[in-house]
Amino acid sequence: MNLSVLLIGDIMGKPGRKAVQALLPEIKKTYNIDVCIANAENLSHGKGVSQNTLAEIMDAGVDFCTSGNHIWAKPEGVSILSQENPPVIRPANFPPGVPGIGKKIITIGKSSLLVINLMGRVFMKENLDCPFRTLDAILEEYHDTPLAGIIVDFHAETTSEKNALGLYADGRISVLVGTHTHVPTADERILPKGTGYITDLGMTGIENSVIGVNYDNVIGGYLTQMPQKFDIAESGEVVFNALHITIDTETGKTIALARIQKRTIV
């Protein structure tokens, strides 16, 4: 049996949410998607999540969400993470006692899929536990659990750290996708031992922007070196970036993968 999985990059504010609403239903039909997982840390005007913004994308067809460093930006995000059965997870390598969970098993029909969220340490301001050792500990915890596949969202800044973790995990997980930089990479591939990989999924947000932010503000900051208010671009052409993977549920390995990039006007 094969499992068809769609992984959507960071959804940036209202334009990103509208693009998901406009494009996702047809994409799910076209690719016969069994489960759709999206990074939601930028849902609410670029930083954080709310019940309403999560509901918007989940009503459109997103089944589950990962996140990253901005998940704490709004108080409502902390309360969502503290729920008994949250629809979104946070990076697992935050210190003990932090609200939320860093991994979760989701059920698709008769199949169980383990979703893990990790965050990088290179050039990130947070002082986090080692993502490599955290992944080892999680995989050991679920060693005897029957799983159709294991998905890892690695929210990290540098290509080298993402590449290293992908190769470190090769053969032990189904796929590792990078998020956070909002710029899609063209290095999607199946690693030697069967793990699908891409350095960054890219964002779902206004294309003619600076990673989803109004470019005038960002350019002004570079020109003057003065503080700027970074507003989310609200209208224009939105790019939707995702990765479609097919998992062999007998082996838990990726057997096919392809980038998806669509555009719509909001």
Our CA dihedral for 237, 240, 241, 242, rounded to 10 degrees, sits at: -170
Q: Which domain covers residue 24, as residue numbers?
A: 2-265
Q: What is the DSSP letter of 95?
A: P
* pLDDT, tens digit (0-9, with 9 covering 90-100), for 142-177: 999 999 999 999 999 999 999 999 999 999 999 999
Which of 48, 18, 50 is CA-nearest to residue 235?
A: 18
Q: Provide the H-helix boundaries in 31-158.
A: 51-59, 75-81, 131-141
DSSP 143-208: TTS--SEEEEEEE-S-HHHHHHHHHHHTTTSSEEEEESS----S--EE-TTS-EEES----BEESS
Neighbours of 126 (CB within 10 A): 13
Question: What distances in angstroms separate CA 225 from CA 214, 229, 230, 243, one per listed residue?
Answer: 17, 13, 14, 37
Q: Report helix, strand or coil for 48.
A: coil
The vertex-13 CA angle with 231 and 86, nearest 5°, equals 135
**Angle, in degrees to the nearest 10, between helices 131-141 and 159-169:** 30
Look at the chain and report how many structural domains it folds into. 1
Which of 3, 22, 6 is CA-nearest to residue 14?
A: 22
pLDDT at residue 18, rounded to an integer: 97
Question: What distances in angstroms separate CA 124 from CA 5, 77, 117, 144, 181, one per listed residue?
Answer: 29, 20, 16, 33, 12
Write out the chain's pLDDT in tens, 266 residues.
999 999 999 999 999 999 999 999 999 999 999 999 999 999 999 899 999 999 999 999 999 999 999 998 999 999 999 999 999 999 999 999 999 999 999 999 999 999 999 999 999 999 999 999 999 999 999 999 999 999 999 999 999 999 999 999 999 999 999 999 999 999 999 999 999 999 999 999 999 999 999 999 899 999 999 988 888 877 899 999 999 999 999 999 999 999 999 999 99
C-alpha 250/C-alpha 266 separation (Å) is 42
Q: What is the DSSP letter of 110?
A: T
C-alpha 45/C-alpha 14 separation (Å) is 6
C-alpha 126/C-alpha 118 separation (Å) is 13
Q: Which amino acids are annotated catalytic?
A: 70
Neighbours of 53 (CB within 10 A): 23
Q: What is the 3-state secondary structure (H, E, C) of 211-248?
A: CCECHHHHHHHHHHCCCCCCCECCCCEEEEEEEEEEEE
Query: Per the structure block, which two tokens stand in for 166?
Result: 């992908």
Looking up residue 92, the CATH number of its domain turns out to be: 3.60.21.10
